């Protein structure tokens, strides 16, 4: 256990208050893994689980928890949409976004939408408890990678990349197209109609002045938006 985590545990122990957490992720195995990690921490308690965006909104909008761990890619409503609904209804809850995507894809968008932090699933096992302690105290959990992205944005103020003008759904569509998914596959994963996904594709092409999927993929790779 690191010194930082230990000191944070002492602080919460002195407060005699458990941090109540909601886990929102559509993968039961991942929810079980996160619960196992948190079960080893005496002053953190998982009080509810959600397996899709709508359930996350319902639970997160109530005052039953201090922190919600929320996956970005979920059925019905994705995590970004759920985040905005939850913060509108329950602005005091801290939302820590979890994602398989690297920080430069969604982290800044999530923070601007009201998230208290962003954590890649690859590093969740080692950083999760520290992140929960941090956001439960009303602070932002910022990884060095996210800090660098924010610093670069401030340094390049006025120079906005084309993809930053996209809505969350348009950006998500861009990432999935660049990852090799067809419109039909994207529609299935997002629980949307093919017509709706096609609309998002058309909008992002227009906004970014691109012509087809090959250009979307080239742009995403060039700007490190996909691995």
Q: What is the pLDDT of residues 106-131, one digit of tens each?
A: 888 888 889 999 988 877 777 899 99
pLDDT tens digits, 194-207: 999 999 999 999 99
Domain boundary among 151, 179, 196: 151
Give a yes or no: residue 146 inside a domain.
yes
Q: Are residues 83 and 142 in the same domain?
A: yes
Where residue 103 falls among pLDDT bands split at 50, 70, 90? low
State whether 140 and 194 are in the same domain: no
Contact 209, 162 (CB under 8 A): yes
Question: 163-194 as b/e, with b when 16 or more CB fall inside 10 Å?
Answer: beebebbbbbbbbbbbeebebeebbeebebee
| Residue 121 sits in the same domain as residue 166 | no
Res 14: pLDDT: 45
- Is 166 in the same domain as 104? no
Q: For the whole model, what pTM was predicted?
A: 0.74
With respect to residue 101, please indicate whether it lies within any of the assigned structural domains. Answer: yes
In degrees rounded to 5, what are phi and psi of residue 128? Answer: -60, -50
- Asked if 67 and 170 sit in the same domain, the reply is no
Residue that terminates a domain, selected from 93, 117, 151:
151
Are 137 and 174 contained in the same domain? no
Residue 214: CATH number of its domain: 1.10.10.10
Is the pLDDT assigned to residue 13 strictly greater than 60?
Answer: no
Task: Tell me, yes or no, whether 100 and 28 share the same domain.
Answer: yes
- Calpha distance 210→93 (Å, rounded): 39
- Residue 120 and residue 181 in one domain: no
Number of domains in the chain: 2
| Residue 157 within a domain | no
227 in a domain, yes or no?
A: no
Residues 131 and 171 in one domain: no
**Cα atoms in the 13 Å half-sphere on the side-chain side of 19:** 30
201 shares its domain with 106: no
Compute the average pLDDT of residues 145-170: 75
**Looking at the domain assignment, is residue 68 inside a domain?**
yes
Identify the CATH number of the domain in which residue 139 sits. Answer: 3.40.50.2300
- Domain residue limits at 43: 3-151
- Distance (Å, rounded) from C-alpha 110 to C-alpha 107? 5
Contacts of 135 by beta carbon, 8 Å cutoff, 6+ apart: 67, 94, 95, 96, 116, 117, 141
- Examine the fold and report which residue of 126, 151, 176 is the final residue of a domain before the chain moves on: 151
Query: Residue 206 domain-assigned?
Result: yes
Q: How far is CA 122 from CA 28, 42, 81, 204, in A?
A: 17, 24, 23, 29
Same domain, 78 and 111: yes
The answer on 32 and 106 residing in a single domain is yes
């Amino acid at each position: 256990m690191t010194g930082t985590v230990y000191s944070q545990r002492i602080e919460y122990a002195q407060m005699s208050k458990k941090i109540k957490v909601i886990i929102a992720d559509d993968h039961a195995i991942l929810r079980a893994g996160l619960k196992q990690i948190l079960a080893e921490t005496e002053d953190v308690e998982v009080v509810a689980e959600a397996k899709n965006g709508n359930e996350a909104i319902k639970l997160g909008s109530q005052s039953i928890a201090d922190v919600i761990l929320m996956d970005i890619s979920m059925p019905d409503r994705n995590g970004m949409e759920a985040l905005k609904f939850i913060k509108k209804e329950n602005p005091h809850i801290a939302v820590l976004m979890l994602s398989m995507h690297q920080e430069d894809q969604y982290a800044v968008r999530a923070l601007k939408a009201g998230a208290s932090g962003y954590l890649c699933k690859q590093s969740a096992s080692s950083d999760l408890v520290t992140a929960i302690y941090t956001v439960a105290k009303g602070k932002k959990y910022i990884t060095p990678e996210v800090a660098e992205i924010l610093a670069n944005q401030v340094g390049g103020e006025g120079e906005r990349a084309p993809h930053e003008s996209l809505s969350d759904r348009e950006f998500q569509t861009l990432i999935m197209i660049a990852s090799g998914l067809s419109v039909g596959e994207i529609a299935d994963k997002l629980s949307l109609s093919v017509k709706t996904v096609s609309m998002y594709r058309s909008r992002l092409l227009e906004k970014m002045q691109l012509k087809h999927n090959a250009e979307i993929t080239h742009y995403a790779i060039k700007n490190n938006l996909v691995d």
